[in-house]
Amino acid sequence: MTSSALAGAGAGDGRDAEVATSVLRADDVAVHFGGVKAVDGVSIVLTPGRLFGILGPNGSGKSTLLAALTRLVPLTRGRLEFEGRRYDRVRPHTIAARGVARTFQTVRILPGRTVFDNVALGAESAGSGSKAERGRARERVRRAIERTGLSGKERHRPDELSYGHQRRVEIARAIASEPTLLLLDEPTAGMNRQERDDITGLLADLRAEGLTQLLIEHDVQMMVDACDHLFAMNFGALIAEGEPEAVVRHPAVQEAYLGTQGRAHA
């Protein structure tokens, strides 16, 4: 499934075992827009309880890959499996019901509703069903708000908050659904260093609880520190994968994404 370049970055020999226990598997996924090959033949396997990351320069196909994994863009070719069930032909709204949640590169919130109401959108049965179901949904919302550092802001509108806190609202909404897989597209964009460290700590806590995550970030050091396994993309293709330090040092990654500054990090 990988080229020699990928193997050199740490792709393991236990691929068959990983596939057998995978949360998500994408095989030869391609998304073409006319003559533009936004994603072109990418294969990845996400195993349970690990924090995965995707590196790549702007335009490398990272966000398009996440959109493909959540069925928000149609596949030109390829196969998707979630917990052993094929899903590349299902409608996007069914993905969340199966246990996949995500955040977006651009914050997507309802500015006229409260923080609590926005987060409640991610909780199943919030505001409906039996009294017991509503109580459980409210508890999921409360816990998500607390975990993302939004306690005390439940009745604020998101447009009254800083951009960094709006990001937190989106993350809280995603984890309120108690997903099996969480996809995060630049969740710390617009945050200062302390806020990024707080979110990194939250992702580590979620991983410790067994939540599988796939993260896109431009903060290379954060990715190296936080992730168990990195994928690197350029021009829509996977150019390296494996242990984070090995991927950061890979010549193809250095050339495509990190440049001189990246070599200093490495």
Closest CA to 44 of 57, 62, 32: 62
Give the pLDDT of residue 5. Answer: 47
Burial 26-63 (b: 16+ CB within 10 A, else e): bbebbbeeeeebbbbebbbbbbeebbbbbbbbeebbbb
The backbone torsions φ and ψ at residue 71, rounded to the nearest 5 degrees and listed phi first, read 65, 20
Lowest-pLDDT choice from 111-120, 159-168, 210-219, 225-234: 159-168
pLDDT at 6: 63
pLDDT digits (tens, 9 = 90+) for 136-152: 889 999 999 998 989 99
CATH 3.40.50.300 domain span(s) along the chain: 21-99+181-210+218-265
State the residue for tokens 């020699």. Answer: 4
Task: Determine the average pLDDT of the residues in 193-217.
Answer: 92
* pLDDT (mean) for 102-113: 87
| DSSP alpha helix (H) spans, 30-154 | 62-69, 93-98, 115-120, 131-147
Q: Is residue 194's pLDDT more than 80? A: yes
Structure tokens at 203: 């992702």
**What is the separation of C-alpha 2 from the centre of its chain, rounded to a whole number of angstroms?**
22
Residue 90 has pLDDT above 70, yes or no: yes
In CATH terms, the fold of domain 21-99+181-210+218-265 is: Rossmann fold (3.40.50)
Which tokens belong to 229? 């396994």
Listed in sequence order, the residues at least 6 apart from 261 whose beta carbon sits closer than 8 Å to its beta carbon are none
3-class secondary structure for 35-52? CEEEEEEEEEEECCCCEE
* pLDDT classification of 107: cutoffs 50, 70, 90: confident
- The secondary structure of residue 160, as a DSSP letter, is G
Dist. CA 68–CA 141, nearest whole Å: 28
Cα 167–80–68 angle (5° rounding)? 40
CB of 115 within 8 A of CB of 169? yes
